[in-house]
């Protein structure tokens, strides 16, 4: 069997965390099995779908490294939907209904008040052809429902949730078409899955009941039912997928300096028994993707965990992978020196003043000023070609008796303007002898003049 998966976003907004996770899972499974992952733009809702969101979906997937193997748009497939709809109508599997939303809500409340499941009572099936024609002649337009087979038990083995059983009599016949002729999600999705040869449908567990009804649609249309995997939903820090989390999109991650691989590495492992680990590319995520590793408990998404993972991934990135995103002053020699001190790639620019610009030094005491003046004199005479930092600090330690923080901190402050940062043994040669001498002398002289 050729594995074909699909990611099917609606272009009514930007991709958020849950969308990204669904896209990633479908892509990982297809890549692991040597198959294909297709992009299906679910734009049947023409009133809310916007082309700018289609473009942002494509751009976001590309930024994440999720290259799709083809794209279809539902808005270009209405003729196919109409053909299949008419076939179902002729077979008696769809039927017109004239109840208003208010009428349906009243019936629902009555059933709930009686302690009964709010299942549609199929009252519209009692309408005769003459009654239907009369209502349509009077200007009423029906919505359409798919008629479930109450005698056929609905069963499947979910790749995450295990054996699933639904009694069709406890399910409402789903509305598949609105009174204005527009399509709801259920039927077009099944038609597309059959037509596109989808072998696996990977989505959130909030679609489980949809799957139950769609399985009968696959059968009614004579199509092969794909395998299903329903992942536990993501939750936020408050124990529930908050509106804020549901609104966090790829652009927000990008603006915050989060690397694509950090997002992929986190979302690939959330909800599994595997640890979330920093990776430099997709290969280990593909290799270890396995439905058996996913549990049914909600998966907690943490921005703090993502940020920490991002830092660890930045520390893995080779210069060649990020060269086009770094300032020109950050050369192949500079990158491994400053990389361990970065949380995001954008922070590389923060080190430009230290590398080649002017720095500000906090006021130092008289003893430290004298110490820096002595350091400048020693550095001026030192051979800068072979480990100048250790030569300088070794000579200063012997001459002054200083050691530890008293020895190293004034030098770091004078040379970088910071009390922390890269290994000075690696950084000093990059700063250069002339600039280092200027900074040591300026630090001593500047504070002495106060």
Annotated binding residue 14: no
Place of tokens 């299903």: 228
- Distance, in Å, from the CA atom of 426 to the CA atom of 81, rounded to the nearest integer, reads 66
Q: 420-448 burial string, b = 16+ CB within 10 Å, else e?
A: ebbebeebbbbbebebbbebbbbbbeebe
DSSP, collapsed to helix, strand or coil, labels residue 318 as coil
Place of tokens 């949809």: 210
Those residues whose C-beta lies under 8 Å from the C-beta of residue 187, and which sit 6 or more positions away, are: 81, 84, 85, 146, 176, 177, 217
Q: Which of 29, 8, 39, 71 is nearest to 200 (CA)?
A: 29
Those residues whose C-beta lies under 8 Å from the C-beta of residue 427, and which sit 6 or more positions away, are: 337, 354, 389, 415, 416, 421
Torsions phi, psi of 90, nearest 5? -65, -30
Q: Read off the tokens for 349.
A: 């620019």
Annotated binding site: 243
Annotated binding site for ATP: 243
């Amino acid at each position: 069997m050729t594995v074909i998966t699909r990611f099917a976003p609606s272009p009514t907004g930007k991709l958020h965390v849950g969308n990204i996770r669904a896209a990633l899972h479908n892509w990982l499974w297809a890549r692991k099995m040597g198959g294909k992952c297709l992009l299906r733009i679910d734009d049947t809702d023409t009133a809310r779908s916007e082309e700018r969101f289609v473009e942002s979906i494509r751009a976001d997937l590309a930024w994440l490294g999720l290259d799709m193997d083809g794209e279809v748009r539902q808005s270009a497939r209405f003729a196919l939907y109409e053909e299949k709809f008419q076939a179902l109508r002729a077979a008696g599997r769809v039927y017109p209904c004239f109840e208003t939303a208010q009428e349906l809500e009243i019936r629902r409340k009555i059933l709930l008040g009686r302690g009964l499941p709010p299942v549609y009572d199929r009252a519209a099936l009692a309408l005769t052809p003459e009654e239907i024609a009369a209502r349509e002649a009077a200007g009423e337009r029906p919505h359409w429902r798919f008629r479930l087979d109450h005698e056929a038990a609905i069963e499947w083995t979910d790749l995450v949730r295990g054996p699933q059983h639904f009694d069709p009599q406890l399910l409402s016949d789903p509305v598949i078409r609105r009174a204005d002729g527009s399509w709801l999600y259920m039927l077009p999705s099944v038609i597309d899955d059959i037509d596109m040869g989808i072998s696996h449908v990977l989505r959130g567990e909030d679609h489980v009941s949809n799957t139950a009804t769609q399985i009968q649609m696959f059968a009614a249309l004579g199509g092969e039912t794909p395998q299903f995997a329903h992942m536990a939903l993501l939750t936020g820090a408050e124990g529930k997928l908050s509106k804020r989390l549901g609104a966090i999109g790829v652009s927000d991650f990008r603006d915050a300096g989060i690397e694509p691989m950090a997002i992929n590495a986190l979302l690939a492992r959330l909800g599994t028994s595997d640890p979330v680990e920093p990776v430099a590319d997709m290969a280990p995520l593909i290799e270890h993707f396995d439905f058996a590793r996913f549990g049914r408990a909600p998966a907690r998404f943490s921005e703090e965990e993502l940020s920490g993972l991002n830092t660890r991934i930045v520390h893995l990135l080779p210069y060649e992978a990020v060269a086009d995103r770094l300032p020109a002053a950050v050369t192949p020699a500079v990158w491994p020196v400053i990389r361990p001190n970065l949380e995001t790639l954008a922070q590389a620019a923060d080190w430009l003043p230290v590398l080649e610009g002017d720095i500000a030094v906090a006021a130092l005491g008289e003893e430290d000023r004298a110490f820096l003046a002595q350091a400048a004199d020693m550095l001026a005479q030192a051979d800068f070609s072979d480990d100048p930092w250790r030569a300088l600090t070794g000579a200063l330690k012997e001459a002054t008796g200083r050691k530890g923080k008293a020895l190293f901190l004034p030098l770091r402050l004078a040379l970088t303007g910071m009390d922390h940062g890269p290994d000075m043994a690696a950084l000093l040669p990059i700063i250069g002898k002339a600039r280092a001498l200027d900074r040591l002398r300026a630090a001593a002289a500047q504070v002495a003049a106060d």
